[in-house]
């Protein structure tokens, strides 16, 4: 699996190869780009930077100097290649006889003063892809209009570029019979500052990348490898790796019965792979805690839909390994928090992991299950199962004495219809918590949009024979799902539900994105004594 050790496939004899994550050393330097020597020199340009005067010479002073150094080659090439500096656009020139073997030009897309962290990360990903393609061992990156960036933005730019490079280099080849390893070992970031502050940012970005890659590998792993027990094993390994600040508690089916988790166990009943309830707890090194928070992730390692089986075009049953994307984000964030070790905050990472399958022991439409808070649920749709597992997980989280809970779940197709594939929907009755997550996302560049949580919609979730049904129909489906979860949260606890059904998976590339990890980390840090 993601950690590469001690895992045996339950089906198909498939055992993933060991993980080979990019190991890149980043340095922030204040030198002139013309002094740098190595394999690949990258200049980042906006459309405005490429403007030329009446003599077809660059107006931008940096590009004018670079073009002079190259005897006009850059100006000629940009015209011949019709290079416009669009986002993601790149051009590579081989330049024998200079201190660098190749020059890469990467487009920023718009004026550098108006970009966000996501733009800088995109630049880094392009650089990583170029370095991989040309098999560079060393690279340097500088911005043509670095003088237009504020000092605070320089730190953001440097860390986002560094993150992008690592993520651009990374490729999940664990299930391929042949793969190439990236050669890039060192990257110098020029002109964005130097010293302790930027070094700390770069160190943090490296930690966040490790969490994002971990989350990607969890989601990418097929259900015949990543069973609930293996997901629990992976989480336990995170706790073991950072045992100075983490403890792990894994509950089996019998222990969950003792806690009366009927809603969760109803979903798990049909699978031959037993459920695992996973609880990681982070406590700061010095023991002082001012805030207790919880991150709850949906952990369906495969979702067939149950007796309401997923059928027909668009049902996406073939990618339902991704239905544990919320738990992957939670455990990815845990891995980062274990490295950063923020003071003053206690964090509970909670996942009710299981499979939603079909068998004679399985939950049927019309069955009634009882959650651990005593509320009864008529299951009118076995494919609305994620909320049933989260119900008991949220009750458990509240019982840990936390003040705030954020849950993440690939919960509804309705949210993808509403917001598309790259924006997560957030639902909360708490304006303060909404602001915290929104502020965190502004740092990371991940996209969230607050959705309404109208209690009047709850009327359609009433049951004639139980306290509620688990599905209220197609209209407002994402809102109804959030209202269902609200029934299992203590009113004294600030709570937010995040529907990540769209952004955790990249349909074009057929791979996981690692969405949510970086924003969760920023949220935890905002609740720590570190700020």
What's the pLDDT at 110?
65
| Whether 453 contacts 483, CB under 8 Å | yes
211-404+413-490: what CATH class? Answer: alpha beta
What b/e string do you get for 223-262 counting C-beta neighbours within 10 Å, with b at 16 or more?
bbbbbbbbbbbbbbbbbeebeebbebebbebeebeebebb
Q: How far is CA 441 from CA 124, 143, 399, in A?
A: 19, 24, 28
Count CB neighbours of 152 within 10 A.
8
- Catalytic annotation, residues: 310, 387
What's the pLDDT at 95?
87
Q: Confirm or reject CATH 3.40.50.1010 for domain 25-196, answering yes or no.
A: no
What's the pLDDT at 9?
59
Closest CA to 197 of 228, 161, 158: 158
Q: 504-507: long-range contacts (C-beta < 8 A, 24 or more apart)?
A: 504/219, 504/322, 504/325, 504/326, 504/328, 504/329, 504/410, 505/219, 505/319, 505/322, 505/325, 505/421, 507/421
What's the pLDDT at 88?
83
Listed by start position, the domains of the chain span 25-196, 211-404+413-490
What b/e string do you get for 504-530 counting C-beta neighbours within 10 Å, with b at 16 or more?
bbeeeeeebbbbbbbbbbbbbbbbbee
**Token pair for residue 26?**
């980043």
Count CB neighbours of 98 within 10 A.
13
What's the pLDDT at 531?
57
- Would the pTM of this model clear 0.85, i.e. be above it? yes
Beta carbons within 8 Å of 483's beta carbon, 6+ residues apart: 453, 455, 457, 458, 461
Per-residue pLDDT of the chain (531 residues; tens, 9 = 90+): 544 444 455 688 888 888 778 889 999 999 999 999 999 999 999 989 999 998 889 999 999 999 999 999 999 999 898 999 888 899 999 988 888 999 999 998 765 544 468 889 999 999 999 999 999 999 999 999 988 888 888 999 999 999 999 999 999 999 998 887 889 999 999 999 999 999 999 999 999 999 999 999 999 999 999 999 999 999 999 999 999 999 999 999 999 999 999 999 999 999 999 999 999 999 999 889 999 999 999 999 999 999 999 998 889 999 999 999 999 999 999 999 999 999 999 999 999 999 999 999 999 999 999 999 999 999 999 999 999 999 999 999 999 999 999 999 999 999 999 999 999 999 999 999 999 999 999 999 999 999 999 999 999 999 999 999 999 988 999 999 999 999 999 999 999 999 999 999 999 999 999 999 999 999 999 999 875
Rounded to an integer, what distance in angstroms lies between the CA atom of residue 422 and that of residue 500? 9
**Token pair for residue 71?**
């005897």
């Amino acid at each position: 699996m993601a950690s590469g050790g001690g895992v045996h496939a339950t089906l198909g004899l498939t055992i993933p190869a060991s993980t080979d994550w990019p190991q890149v050393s980043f340095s922030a330097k204040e030198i002139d780009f013309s002094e740098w020597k190595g394999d690949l020199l990258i200049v980042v340009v906006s459309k405005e930077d490429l403007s030329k005067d009446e003599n077809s010479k660059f107006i931008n002073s940096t590009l004018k100097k670079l073009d002079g150094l190259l005897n006009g080659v850059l100006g000629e090439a940009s015209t011949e290649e019709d290079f416009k500096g669009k986002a993601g656009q790149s051009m590579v020139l081989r330049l024998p006889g200079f201190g660098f073997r190749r020059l890469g030009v990467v487009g920023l897309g718009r004026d550098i003063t108006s970009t966000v962290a996501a733009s800088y990360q995109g630049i880094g990903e392009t650089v990583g892809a170029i370095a991989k393609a040309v098999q560079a061992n060393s690279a340097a990156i500088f911005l043509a209009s670095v003088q237009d960036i504020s000092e605070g933005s320089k730190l953001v730019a440097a860390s986002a570029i560094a993150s992008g490079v690592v993520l651009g280099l990374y490729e999940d080849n664990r299930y391929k019979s042949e793969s190439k390893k990236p050669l890039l070992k060192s990257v110098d970031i020029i002109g964005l500052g130097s010293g302790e502050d930027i070094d700390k940012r770069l160190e943090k970005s490296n930690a966040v990348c490790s969490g994002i890659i971990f989350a990607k590998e969890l989601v990418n792993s097929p259900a015949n490898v990543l069973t609930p027990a293996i997901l629990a094993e992976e989480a336990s390994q995170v706790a073991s790796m950072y045992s100075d600040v983490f403890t792990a508690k894994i509950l089996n089916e019998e222990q969950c019965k003792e806690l009366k988790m009927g809603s969760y166990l109803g979903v798990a009943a049909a699978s031959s792979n037993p459920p695992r309830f996973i609880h990681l707890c982070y406590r700061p090194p010095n023991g002082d805690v001012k805030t207790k928070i919880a991150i709850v992730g949906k952990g369906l390692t495969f979702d067939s839909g149950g007796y309401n089986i997923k059928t027909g075009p668009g049902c996406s049953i073939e990618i339902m390994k991704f239905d544990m994307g919320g738990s992957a984000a939670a455990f990815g964030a845990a891995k980062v928090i274990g490295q950063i070790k923020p003071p003053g905050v206690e964090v509970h990472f909670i996942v009710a992991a299981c499979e939603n399958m079909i068998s004679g022991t399985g939950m049927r439409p019309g069955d009634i299950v009882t959650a651990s808070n005593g509320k009864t649920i008529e299951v009118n749709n076995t494919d609305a199962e994620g909320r049933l597992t989260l119900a008991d997980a949220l009750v458990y989280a509240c019982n840990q004495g936390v003040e705030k809970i954020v849950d993440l779940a690939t919960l509804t197709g309705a949210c993808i219809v509403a917001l598309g594939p790259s924006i997560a929907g957030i639902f909360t009755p708490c304006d303060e918590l909404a602001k915290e997550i929104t502020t965190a996302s502004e740092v990371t560049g991940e996209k969230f949009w607050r959705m309404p949580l109208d209690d009047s919609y709850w009327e359609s979730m009433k049951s004639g024979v139980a306290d509620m049904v688990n599905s209220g129909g197609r209209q407002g489906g994402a809102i109804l799902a959030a209202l269902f979860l609200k029934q299992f949260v203590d009113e004294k606890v600030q709570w937010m539900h995040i529907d990540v059904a769209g952004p955790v998976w990249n349909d074009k590339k057929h791979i996981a994105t690692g969405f949510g990890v970086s924003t969760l980390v920023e949220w935890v840090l905002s609740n720590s004594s570190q700020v």
